[in-house]
Structures are given as C-alpha cells and as structure tokens.
C-alpha cells in the first residue's frame, strides 16, 4: 500500500474551505492509503508563537481533524515534535542544502517581502524540515497545494542528492498527490475566490449558528439581475457555489431559477444558505466540543500516533546514520 503524508501548521481554527477541500480528501484517502497526518508544530516556530498558543493550536487542529472524520484507527495522526528523529534528519539534510537554492525558493522570498523583520534561519530551512517530515516515512505521495509545490521539488532534490552522494538508492522521490479535479474550492463571503483565514472571509467549523447567520447575511451581493439568464457577479456566484456544497439539489435549483427569472431575493437565499451551512457545521461543532473536553482520549490519540510514527522514524534514522558513517 502506498504511503501518503500531509502536514498542517497549527495556526488556528479550520474553516469550511479546509473541510470541503483537503479534509474531505483525507477522509477518502485514509481507507485507500497508508496515511500519516501530522501537526507541524516545529514549523510553526518560524513565526514565534506564544507557548500557550502553540499548545492550544496543536490541540485545536487535532480536535477538529477528529471531529471532521479523520479516523485515528486507520490513519496515523501525530504531532511533529513527538518525533525528535525529524529534527535529527533535518540536521543531516541541512548539510547538503545550499544557501542559493533555499534563498531562491519562492515561498522564502515571499516571507522576506512580507516580514523583513523576521527572516530567521528556520524560515530559510523550512523546506529542509519539510523534506525531513516526508523522507522519514519514505512517503510516496504528498498532497500539496500550489503554494507548497516548491517545497516538494526541493524534497525530491534533497532525496536524490543524498542518494548520489552516498552512492545508494535509499530515499525515494515523493510525488505530488494531485487532487486538483477532486479538490473543492470554497469561495469567500466577500466575492474572492478563496475562503481563507488570512483573507478574513471564513466560516469556521466551530462557529456558533448565530455567528454563521451573521456572516452569511453580511456576505456581499449585487443589485440583482435585471434581465433573464444574466451572468452572475463574482459575489453572487460565490453564494451559489457554497450552496452547491451545503444545500439540497432542489434548493439550489429553486434559487437558480429565481435568479434566472429575476425574482430572486438575496436575503431569502442567504437565510436558506445559512441554515444549510449550520446543518453541516453543527454536528462537527458538537463533536469539537465533546472532544475538547476529553483530554484523556486526545492524549491517547497523540501517544498512539507518535508511537506508530516513531517506528518508521527510528528505522530511517538508524539507517541514515549508518549510511552517513555514524555508528548506531
């Protein structure tokens, strides 16, 4: 069975875009592949989170993954820092990662532009740490969005360089798992094409019903159609797109028709949309609340995940040390 690995930086709550996008795919994949889903808390140190926020955010991602349906019996869920072997592999890989290629990485250049006051070495070597995450499990496939593709390219480069350097076919070059055709993109409530935390246009899985209603009622629309079958503005298109994922086909057809014959009232559509979003989010929110209080269970999931993941990690590190010339 092929191994799939994906990491997420713990930076806060997950939203509907994460849910219908990556998470739905993870839930499908966990039955088809040997899956590792981990929380990249080492990576999040590049932005210097407060220790309490770090803890809280790690727990939040874990809870929300579980509440969304990621199954710790099938997939391995773990916290990156519970695998100290990752840090050791990162050290080894850094010896053969070159300044030029790290500096040229588009994600690094972006960070430098956006946060010139915090260009730390961890940021520069962010791709090496990611390579360590992937190579430690010899992952075959890594689901990545476009923003992370340069990191996967560097991972492939580091893997093949290691092999060449030591004259051994040890690491395999991981492939990008492309779920482009199946990856649902949930639009923002502000007319932008993407729902995102930094965009400030998101509905979170743990938003209470009243909050969801408020956000949706505030979503941007336009002055309304003035002719039959008029093309939709981006704002209105987004409401229809969201409706496609949360409402019944009949409901969607009803509002399509009323848009096309110009009888639509956006207020009515938003009210319906809000209730349908709530129907999707409420059961998840309930599970989030239950799980949040179940510290014993969460600790067990983390412990079991770390234990399973460390079996690979230890094995890889002992082989790597030997290849490099260290005694075990």
Q: Taking CB under 6 A as the rule, does residue 105 contact ligand TRP?
A: no
Is the Cβ of residue 109 or residue 214 nearer to ligand TRP in the bound state? 109
Given 111, 141, 215, 270, which residue is catalytic?
Answer: 111
Residue nearer to ligand TRP on the CB measure, 20 or 255: 20
- Interaction of residue 7 with ligand TRP, rule CB under 6 A: yes
323 in helix, strand or coil?
helix
156 contributes a contact to ligand TRP by CB under 6 A: no
Q: Is 142 in the site for ligand TRP (CB under 6 A)?
A: yes
Q: Kindly indicate which of the ranges 60-68, 114-122, 128-136, 192-200 contains the residues binding ligand TRP, using the contact rule CB under 6 A.
A: 128-136
Segment interacting with ligand TRP (CB under 6 A) among 19-27, 93-101, 108-116, 126-134 = 126-134
Q: How far apart are CA 316 and CA 311, in angstroms?
A: 9
Q: Please list the alpha-helical segments (H only) found in 137-233.
A: 149-166, 209-218
Is residue 172 part of the annotated active site? The answer reads: no
Binding track over 25-54 against ligand TRP, x by CB under 6 A: ---------------x--x-----------
Contact 158, 93 (CB under 8 A): yes
Q: Which residue has the tokens 């990752």?
A: 86
Residue 215 Cβ vs ligand TRP, minimum distance, rounded to whole Å: 24
| Total number of residues shown for the chain | 328
- The reply to whether 6 sits near ligand TRP by the rule CB under 6 A is yes
Indicate if 271 belongs to the active site: no
- Residue number, 108 or 266, with CB nearest to ligand TRP: 108
DSSP letter for 32, please.
T
- Minimum CB separation of residue 133 from ligand TRP in Å reads 4
Asked if 210 contacts 53 with a C-beta cutoff of 8 angstroms, the reply is no
CB atoms within 10 A of CB 207: 20
Could you tell me if 135 and 171 are in contact, meaning their C-beta atoms sit under 8 angstroms apart? Answer: yes
The residue from 194, 232, 271, 308 that is catalytic is 194
> Which is nearest to 305 in space by CA: 16, 88, 58?
58
Q: Which of 121, 272, 149 is nearest to 264 (CA)?
A: 272
Q: Which of 138, 149, 172, 197 is catalytic?
A: 197
Among the listed residues 9, 24, 59, 156, the single contact to ligand TRP using CB under 6 A: 9
Strands (E) in 91-222, as ranges, are: 141-143, 175-177
What is the smallest separation between the CB atom of 214 and ligand TRP, expressed in angstroms? Answer: 29
Give the nearest residue (CB) to ligand TRP: 7
Active site residue 308: no
- 148 touches ligand TRP (CB under 6 A): yes
Minimum separation from the CB atom of position 258 to ligand TRP (A): 40
Contact 171, 138 (CB under 8 A): yes
Tell me the backbone φ, ψ of residue 39, rounded to 5 degrees. -105, 115
Q: Kindly list the distances between the CA atom of residue 86 and the CA atoms of 9, 39, 81, 97, 225, in Å, as whole numbers in the listed order.
A: 15, 13, 8, 16, 56
Reading across the β-sheet that carries 141-143, which strands appear in turn?
A: 76-79, 34-39, 3-8, 141-143, 175-177
Nearer to ligand TRP, 242 or 306 (CB): 306
Which residue lies nearer to ligand TRP by CB, 128 or 238? 128
111: contact with ligand TRP by CB under 6 A: no
> Are residues 235 and 268 in contact, defined by beta-carbon separation less than 8 angstroms?
no
In this complex, which beta carbon is closest to ligand TRP, that of residue 146 or of residue 229?
146
5 binds ligand TRP (CB under 6 A): yes
Enumerate binding residues for ligand TRP (CB under 6 A): 5-9, 40, 43, 130, 133-134, 142, 148
Residues labelled as active-site residues: 111, 194, 197
């Amino acid at each position: 069975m092929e191994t799939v690995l994906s990491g997420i930086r713990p930076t806060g709550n997950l939203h509907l875009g994460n849910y219908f996008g990556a998470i739905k795919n993870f839930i499908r994949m966990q039955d088809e592949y040997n899956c590792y889903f981990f929380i990249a808390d080492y990576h999040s140190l590049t932005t210097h989170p407060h220790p309490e926020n770090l803890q809280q955010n790690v727990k939040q991602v874990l809870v929300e993954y579980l509440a969304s349906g990621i199954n710790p019996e099938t997939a391995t869920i773990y916290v990156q820092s519970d695998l100290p072997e990752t840090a050791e592999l990162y050290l080894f890989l850094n010896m053969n990662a070159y300044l030029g290629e790290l500096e040229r990485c588009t994600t690094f250049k972006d960070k430098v532009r956006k946060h010139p006051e915090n260009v730390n070495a961890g940021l520069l070597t962010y791709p090496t740490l990611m390579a360590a995450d992937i190579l430690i499990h010899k992952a075959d496939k890594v689901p990545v969005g476009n923003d992370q593709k340069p990191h996967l390219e560097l991972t492939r480069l580091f893997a093949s360089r290691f092999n060449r350097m030591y004259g051994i076919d040890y690491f395999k070059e991981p492939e990008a798992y492309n779920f482009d055709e199946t990856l649902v993109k949930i639009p923002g409530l502000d007319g932008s094409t993407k729902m995102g935390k930094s965009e400030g246009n998101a509905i979170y899985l743990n938003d209470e019903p009243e909050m969801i209603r408020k956000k949706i009622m505030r979503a941007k629309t336009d002055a309304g159609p003035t002719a039959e079958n008029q093309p939709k503005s981006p704002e209105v298109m987004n409401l229809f797109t969201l409706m496609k994922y949360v409402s019944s086909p009949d409901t969607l057809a009803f509002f399509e028709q009323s848009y096309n014959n110009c009888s639509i009232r956006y207020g009515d559509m938003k009210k319906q949309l809000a209730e349908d979003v709530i129907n999707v989010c409420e059961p998840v929110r309930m599970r989030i609340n239950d799980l949040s209080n179940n510290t014993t269970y969460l600790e067990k999931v983390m412990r079991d995940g770390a234990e399973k993941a460390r079996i690979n990690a230890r094995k890889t590190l002992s082989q790597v040390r030997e290849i490099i010339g260290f005694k075990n």
